[in-house]
Amino acid sequence: MKTKIIYFLLGLSVLSLVAFNYAYKAVGSVLDLSGYVLIDDKKVEGATVKLYENNVVVNKMITKSNSRFRFLLFSNNEYMVEVSKPGFFDERVYINTKSNSDMLDKYYFEFVVDLMNENTYKNVDASSLDFPTAIVKYDKGEDDYIHDKGYSEQVRSDLRKLNEQINKKK
């Protein structure tokens, strides 16, 4: 009888390990994403931060006095973080957690969102601000999440052009 119980417990242990391993691989890696919302380098309370997963809102929070937000993202998805506050342009950051590598780890990524006042750009075509201001993706060579530098440079270039248009109208 003791032998049957021991074999049963051993079998149950092995089955539990297999199930845990399968569940872990199904989830894959985790990206601990955090950031701060600022306006003119000052912390912002009361900004709405939404997390979209494959274009569906899956989490939402309002920043407190520390202006911080934080979400856990799982591998093999596309996410968008959208930060909004009345009187300011919504800002979006696209995060791609899809990868061809076998990622079974926890990663950390932090960034700052600096909201822009709508009144500053009211006399120019600011439609370029409707697009994400950054793209974050996994880089196998770095084994980490990074900003897409080319995309970020294009966003900075578009913003410089907008500011030039504003200065010409003054």
pLDDT tens digit sequence for 112-136: 999 999 998 888 888 888 899 999 9
In degrees and rounded to multiples of 5, residue 105 shows phi and psi of: -150, 175
Strand 134-139 and strand 91-96: pairing?
Answer: parallel
Give the chain's domains with CATH numbers: 28-169 (2.60.40.10)
Structure-token match 């907008």, residue found? 162
pTM exceeds 0.85 for this model: no
Overall average pLDDT of the 35-43 stretch: 96
Determine how many CB atoms are found less than 10 A away from the CB of residue 84. 15
* The pLDDT of residue 167: 83
- Asked if 152 contacts 143 with a C-beta cutoff of 8 angstroms, the reply is no
- Residue of higher predicted confidence among 99 and 66: 66
- Which residues have a Cβ under 8 Å from the Cβ of 75 and sit 6 or more positions away? 27, 28, 29, 30, 31, 97, 98, 99, 103
